[in-house]
Structure formats: structure tokens, C-alpha cells
Amino acid sequence: MLERMIEQTILASRWLLVPLYLGLAAMLLVLIWQFYTDLFHVVGSLGAADDSAIILETLALIDLVLVAGLITMVVISSYESFVSKIDVKEGSDTPPLFGKLDPGTLKIKLGASIVAISSIQLLKAFVSVEKYTSSDLAWLIGIHMTLVVSTLLMAIIDKLTFAKARDKVKEAGLSSSGH
């Protein structure tokens, strides 16, 4: 009886993650505010801004969008993986991967998103290269390459260790649905 009560408490503790997911979802509002603040700043300075300034501001906006997508992916996938399945009506307008990201795939997608964000930061540095020392640029490139290699290694490890299990799950799903 004590063991069952402990197990039920541990299982129920997953709901303690929900306030964290709601906090991340609230961060989307902050990102929206920042996006439009930056956008209006760019639009307001169109006559005075040079091409590189507009490119840098556009890259900053893209960064915000990528981070917002990253937050959304983490919140939805983590909630479904650790808390509860999200009930969606049949035929509703949901993204194709909704409810299909396992933790391994999520890690790879997160890594790829972080690499994309890092790429934009690196591109921003290259556009305004005069503001950076050679050492600064070397660090940025080194950090970016570390992220690229880490994400690549995660994908390889995931493929080697979990691909067969995913294929079995897919096959079981297809055979049980009559396809």
C-alpha cells in the first residue's frame, strides 16, 4: 500500500511541470512584444538605415521567430511526453508532427533550431565584422561548430539506438490500422 501511494505521488508529480510550460508559453507574449518593437523600429528608420543595418535587424527578427518556434515545440512536445496527451478533434488544424515527437526526436529538432539560431548570430557577426576581433570571431565559429557537431552526434546516436524501435512502433501502428 505504501509503495502504491509513493508511485501514485511520483506519477502525479508530473503535473508540477505544467506551471513551467505555462511560463514558457507566456514568454511567447514577450517575444511577440519584442518582435513588433523591433519591427516598428526598423520601419521607422528605413530612410536613415543602411543595407547592413536592415539586414542585421531582419536577422534579429528571424532569431525571435526561431526562438518562439523552439518554445512552442518544447512546450507541446514536453507536455505530451511527460504530462498528458493533448486531445485534438479529428480533422482539426494541427501541425503534421503534432503529438509525434518523441524525446529523442525533440532533442534533435532542438539542436537543429539552436544551430539555426547560432548560424544567424554568426551571420550577424560577419555582416558587422568590423565590430569584432579575430579572437571574438574565432570563438563564435568554435561555439557554432561545437553546436553543429553536438547536434550531428545526437542525431547519429539517436539513429543507431532508437531507429529500430521507432520502425517497430510505426509498423505496429500500420498493421493495426489495416494499411
> What integer pLDDT is reported at residue 179 of this predicted model?
45
Task: Tell me which long-range contacts 19-24 makes (C-beta under 8 A, separation of at least 24).
Answer: 21/75, 21/78, 21/79, 21/83, 24/71, 24/74, 24/75
User: What are 138-162's pLDDT values in tens digits?
Assistant: 999 999 999 999 999 988 888 888 7
CA 88 from chain center: how many Å?
Answer: 22
> What integer pLDDT is reported at residue 23 of this predicted model?
96
Rounded CA separation 86/22 (Å): 15
> What integer pLDDT is reported at residue 42 of this predicted model?
85
From the list 129, 75, 124, the residue with the least C-alpha distance to 98 is: 75
Contacts of 112 (CB under 8 A, 6+ apart): 151
Contacts of 98 (CB under 8 A, 6+ apart): 76, 86, 88
With a cut of 90, say whether residue 21 has pLDDT above it.
Answer: yes
Check: CB of residue 76 under 8 Å from CB of residue 82.
no
- Average pLDDT score, the chain: 83
109, three cell numbers:
529538432
pTM over 0.75: no
5, three cell numbers:
501511494
User: What are 49-86's pLDDT values in tens digits?
Assistant: 777 778 888 888 988 998 898 898 888 888 887 888 87
